[in-house]
């Protein structure tokens, strides 16, 4: 009788997901609330056929070369810029991610961040908590309207379209977007969405939401030059990946009021946050929690587990990532 495939779960995860995997494979878990650095991850992966990861574990060419038994890298995240897919593919390792299951939850959160930035919710809460609220005035924390404003979306994939639906159908917003390719007319029409070039997007958007995947091509897609094109009354929200926005340039733009406000759920070098972002008042900051509901995170983890079970038992993966 062949032994069960061996799987390493590289981070703490819901107990029910561990138990599901244990019914099909031998499981080694990371029971500490820490992320293993690459060298330790390599050492722990020896003798394992599959690995369960999220958005931060470094699955690079060095690791792949050092783990010859590895057959599957299955992530509970949608983004996979932490995984060298080409290196995995070259060695016959299947890579999977977790699309679809977090679309609406992330869109909800992205829209909430945009609203918070536009209406200065975090800024006014800090003011209240500090005991400085003494009187009311007509211009007290006046922000920007969201209803009937122009919503600009950079990256019109599943999450971008879900945010557009919320804006167009719920808030009567005019939707413009920039994407590598234009959506089919049947997707644009219900939203009244209009494809524009990137410069037009930046110039016309009252509220810019960034949901483009991270890659070398999208690194610092929003930097000082792009921020300079935006309206001084505009807001910027990033629920994509850290590195798509130049955090230092954004902090400067906020400090100099070149744009009105920003909201970020992702950061360059997270969990570190650029000190200049922490020093400006007109920003909403959250620790990469856009998909963080119990139901959605469970679905994400379950999909990664089911991908591991399928691949390691000779079946097709449910959501493969192609090199």
* Residue 57 near residue 292 (C-beta atoms within 8 A): no
* Residue 45 near residue 63 (C-beta atoms within 8 A): yes
Around Cβ 68, how many Cβ atoms within 10 Å? 8
Handedness of CA 148, 154, 158, 159 (dihedral sign): negative
Question: Same topology for domains 6-99+294-312 and 103-285, yes or no?
Answer: yes
Can you list the residues of the chain whose pLDDT is less than 50?
Answer: none
* Residue 261 near residue 282 (C-beta atoms within 8 A): yes
Q: Domain map of the chain by residue range?
A: 6-99+294-312, 103-285
Q: Kind of pairing, strands 50-53 and 283-285?
A: unpaired
Per-residue pLDDT, 323: 77
| Residue that the structure tokens 């920007």 belong to | 144
Residues belonging to the active site? 241, 270, 288
Q: How far apart are CA 290 and CA 157, in angstroms?
A: 16
Give the CATH architecture of domain 103-285: 3-Layer(aba) Sandwich (3.40)
Q: Residue 8: phi, psi to the nearest 5?
A: -105, 125
Handedness of CA 190, 191, 195, 196 (dihedral sign): positive
**Assigned fold of 6-99+294-312:** Rossmann fold (3.40.50)
Per-residue pLDDT, 2: 65
Q: How far apart are CA 74 and CA 99, in angstroms?
A: 12
Per-residue pLDDT, 1: 54
| Residue that the structure tokens 């219900």 belong to | 190
Around Cβ 282, how many Cβ atoms within 10 Å? 18
Q: How far apart are CA 135 and CA 303, in angstroms?
A: 52
């Amino acid at each position: 009788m062949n032994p069960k495939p061996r799987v390493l779960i590289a981070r703490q995860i819901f107990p029910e997901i561990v138990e599901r995997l244990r019914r099909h494979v031998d499981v080694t878990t990371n029971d500490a609330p820490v992320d293993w650095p690459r060298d330790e991850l390599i050492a722990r992966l020896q003798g394992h056929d599959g690995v369960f990861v999220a958005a931060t574990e470094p699955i690079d060419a060095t690791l792949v070369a050092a783990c010859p038994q590895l057959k599957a890298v299955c992530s509970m995240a949608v983004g996979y810029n932490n995984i060298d897919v080409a290196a995995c593919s070259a060695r016959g390792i299947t890579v999977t991610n977790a699309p679809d299951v977090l679309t609406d939850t992330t869109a909800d959160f992205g829209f909430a961040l945009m609203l918070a930035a536009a209406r200065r919710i975090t800024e006014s809460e800090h003011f209240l908590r500090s005991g400085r609220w003494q009187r009311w005035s007509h211009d007290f924390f006046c922000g920007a309207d969201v209803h009937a404003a122009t919503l600009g979306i950079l990256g019109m994939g599943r999450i971008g379209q879900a945010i557009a639906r919320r804006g167009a159908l719920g808030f009567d917003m005019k939707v413009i977007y920039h994407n590598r390719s234009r959506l089919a007319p049947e997707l644009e029409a219900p939203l009244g969405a209009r494809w524009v070039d990137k410069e037009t997007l930046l110039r016309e958007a009252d509220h810019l939401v960034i949901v483009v995947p991270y890659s070398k091509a999208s690194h610092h897609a929003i930097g000082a030059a792009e921020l300079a094109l935006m309206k001084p009354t505009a807001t910027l929200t990033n629920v994509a990946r850290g590195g798509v926005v130049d955090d230092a340039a954004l902090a400067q733009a906020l400090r100099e009021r070149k744009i009105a406000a920003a909201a970020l759920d992702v950061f360059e070098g997270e969990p570190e946050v650029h000190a200049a972002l922490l020093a400006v008042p007109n920003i909403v900051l959250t620790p990469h929690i856009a998909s963080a509901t119990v139901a959605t995170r469970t679905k994400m983890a379950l999909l990664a587990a089911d991908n591991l079970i399928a691949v390691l038992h000779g079946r097709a993966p449910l959501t493969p990532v192609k090199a």
